[in-house]
Amino acid sequence: MSWNNVLLRPVISEGSLDKVKTLNDYTFLVARGATKSDVKEAIEKTFDVKVKKVRTKPMRGKNRKRGVKRELVKTADLKQAIVRLGEKDKIDLFEVKEEKKKQ
């Protein structure tokens, strides 16, 4: 699989941002057929960082009701990849900037 077709989107949630702060783990949704070595190559080439470890887990699609008739539709099956970077490396996409509160 070509490295530029592997990454679908980052997972930005409260839990994934907590993993970034504590463990330097970044979470991405990747193509279903992507292997760990494909994910590692894609992350290293896209963000210019050094990957220590890649963990993947398949995610089964969910049944959702859509439309006026409330028909059941199954969402796509995906794969989630949790990537641990080196200690000096980070991805700016996951940085949260705090806003100043108006008084």
DSSP tag of 93? G
38 vs 51: CA distance, rounded Å: 12
CA-to-CA dists, residue 94 to 39, 69, 85, angstroms: 18, 39, 13
Q: Spell out the CATH class of 3-89.
A: alpha beta
**pLDDT (0 to 100) of residue 3:** 74
Looking at every residue in the chain, the average pLDDT score rounds to 90
Size of the chain in residues? 103
> Does residue 1 register a pLDDT over 80?
no
Q: What is the pLDDT of residues 57-79, one digit of tens each?
A: 999 999 999 999 999 999 989 99
